[in-house]
């Protein structure tokens, strides 16, 4: 549990013009505000969700949130004892409602009394829970104090951070202790990185590095960097990334802030997998197909036709002395004996999988640590899931494939960078440096 009693804070004043909403005040003339924030991220052992903790309210309390890469905003469950002297609901037709792109306005009619999340003459946006594919159209837009960590002992305090209040029905399937969602969507003005970027010292850029361990934490860097890790020397991993274009789904409505990229083909052990490539592009008429990156999906989902082709190619590329296990185990459709699989610095020595991006020389290489999962002592499975994706993206890249990789989301330049496995550079997401001053 975080303690806020001994933290040094930088406070941000309120401005009526939201272009300057997050101009910072230095603590004193000798202090310089750090331009990169560090949000530690923990993998929940039960749900495999990635969670972080942020301070909110007056007095400050730690709130635990599930990280949703494509989330519209930060939202919290206001039904479970939301107490704060600095809570301000957004009043109908206000500048705040307009800035947050509110879709409607109304009064409190579903609760017996006025409370945070249910006020009269307030505006709403959409609350979303991607774990259950549920949306709430009356998420009350509000402001309150928010505190985000930077270097040890320092919090950046935002006195009127915009977020949404939802009711407890939206908290279904969240990890234990989690009371909301931390949204990092690229098109929403009230997502966490876009609100912070209203201050000119914060770039519209963030990096995410998910730990594969439930006992050591990864990190989200917010700002321009550097994104340093130890191996054992300090190195900025973001200096050597493969970048590809961030694609916006033209037909998306509630999911317009999700992150899509172009995957032009898939290679296994250096050979192209035969695919129906029309599935790899977003259909301009209905918005389905293409590739999405999603932190709330534990394992990459492939449309059934893509999955079957990938499964066949992967199993055929395994060494001949590896035994296929039938029937498959748990949710995985391709499993095999691990007795003759040796281990390497990038995980089990299995065929590498390349997601080829906008050109053949630009690819995201997936090694054994990210392509397979050990399900029993002697059995491994291909860590991809086949589903009917007729009305969804054909490929949804999940958390397991992202672990121990640095992904940088450069929103200003509309591109995403990939590092491939940090194990190649003898480091990990848990070895990030949080003392850098830029």
d(CA 12, CA 156): 8
* Residue 434 confidence class, pLDDT cut points 50, 70, 90: confident
Q: Output the pLDDT for position 437.
A: 52
- Res 12 pLDDT > 60: no
User: Do the domains 231-425 and 36-202 match in fold?
Assistant: yes
- Per-residue pLDDT tens over the stretch 156-198: 889 999 999 999 999 999 999 999 999 999 999 999 999 999 9
Domain ranges of the chain: 36-202, 231-425
- Per-residue pLDDT tens over the stretch 117-141: 999 999 999 999 999 999 999 999 9
Q: Write the class of the CATH domain 231-425.
A: mainly beta
The token pair that represents 384 in the structure block: 């991809």
For domain 36-202, the CATH superfamily is Acid Proteases (2.40.70.10)
Bridge-based pairing state of the strands 61-68 and 50-56? antiparallel
- Per-residue pLDDT tens over the stretch 71-120: 999 999 999 899 999 999 999 999 999 999 999 999 999 899 999 999 99
* Residue 22 confidence class, pLDDT cut points 50, 70, 90: very low
d(CA 256, CA 196): 20
- What value does the mean pLDDT of the chain take? 90
d(CA 211, CA 208): 10
The token pair that represents 398 in the structure block: 């999940």
* Residue 33 confidence class, pLDDT cut points 50, 70, 90: low
pTM: 0.93
d(CA 430, CA 271): 33
Mean pLDDT, residues 364-379: 97
Please state, as a whole number, how many other Cβ atoms lie within 10 Å of the Cβ of residue 213.
16
Q: Output the pLDDT for position 259.
A: 97
Mean pLDDT, residues 370-398: 97
Please state, as a whole number, how many other Cβ atoms lie within 10 Å of the Cβ of residue 104.
12
Instruction: Tell me 331's DSSP state.
Output: T
Tokens 């004043």 identify what position? 13
**Closest alpha carbon to 372 in 348, 337, 355, 396:** 348
d(CA 179, CA 174): 8
């Amino acid at each position: 549990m975080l303690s806020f009693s001994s933290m040094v804070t930088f406070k941000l004043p309120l401005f009526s013009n939201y272009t300057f909403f997050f101009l910072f005040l230095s603590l004193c003339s000798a202090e310089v505000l750090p331009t990169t924030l560090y949000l530690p991220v923990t993998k929940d052992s039960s749900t495999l969700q990635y969670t972080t903790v942020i301070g909110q309210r007056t007095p400050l309390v730690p709130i635990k949130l599930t990280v949703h890469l494509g989330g519209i905003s930060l939202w919290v469950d206001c039904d479970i004892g939301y107490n704060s002297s600095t809570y301000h609901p957004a009043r109908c037709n206000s500048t705040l409602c307009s800035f947050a792109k509110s879709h409607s306005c109304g009064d409190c009619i579903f609760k017996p009394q006025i409370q945070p999340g249910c006020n009269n003459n307030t505006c709403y946006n959409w609350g979303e829970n991607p774990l259950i594919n549920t949306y709430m159209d009356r998420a009350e837009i509000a402001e309150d104090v928010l505190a985000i960590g930077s270097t040890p002992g320092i919090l950046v305090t935002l006195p009127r951070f915009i977020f949404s209040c939802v009711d407890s029905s939206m908290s279904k399937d969240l990890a234990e202790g989690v009371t909301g969602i931390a949204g990092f969507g690229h098109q929403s003005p009230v997502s966490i990185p876009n609100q912070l970027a209203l201050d000119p010292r914060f770039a519209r850029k963030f990096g995410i590095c998910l730990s594969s361990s439930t006992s050591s934490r990864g990190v989200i860097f917010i700002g321009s960097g550097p994104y340093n890790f130890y191996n054992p020397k300090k190195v900025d991993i973001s200096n050597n990334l493969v970048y590809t274009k961030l694609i916006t789904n033209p037909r998306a409505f509630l999911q317009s802030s999700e992150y899509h990229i172009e995957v032009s083909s898939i290679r296994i052990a250096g050979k192209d997998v035969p695919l129906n490539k029309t599935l790899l592009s977003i259909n301009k008429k209905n918005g389905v197909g293409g590739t999405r990156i999603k932190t709330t999906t534990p394992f990459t989902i492939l449309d059934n036709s893509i999955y079957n082709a990938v499964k066949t190619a992967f199993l055929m590329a395994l060494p001949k002395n590896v035994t296929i296990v039938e029937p498959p185990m748990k949710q995985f459709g391709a499993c095999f004996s691990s007795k003759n699989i040796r281990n390497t610095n990038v995980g089990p020595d299995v065929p590498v999988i390349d997601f080829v991006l906008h050109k053949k020389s630009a690819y995201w290489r997936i090694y054994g640590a990210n392509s397979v999962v050990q399900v029993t002592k002697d059995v491994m499975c291909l860590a991809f899931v086949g589903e009917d994706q007729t009305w969804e993206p054909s490929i949804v890249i999940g958390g397991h494939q992202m672990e121990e990789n640095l992904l940088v989301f450069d929103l200003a330049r509309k591109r995403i960078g990939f590092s491939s496995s940090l194990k190649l550079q003898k480091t990990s997401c848990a070895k990030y440096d949080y003392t850098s001053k830029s």
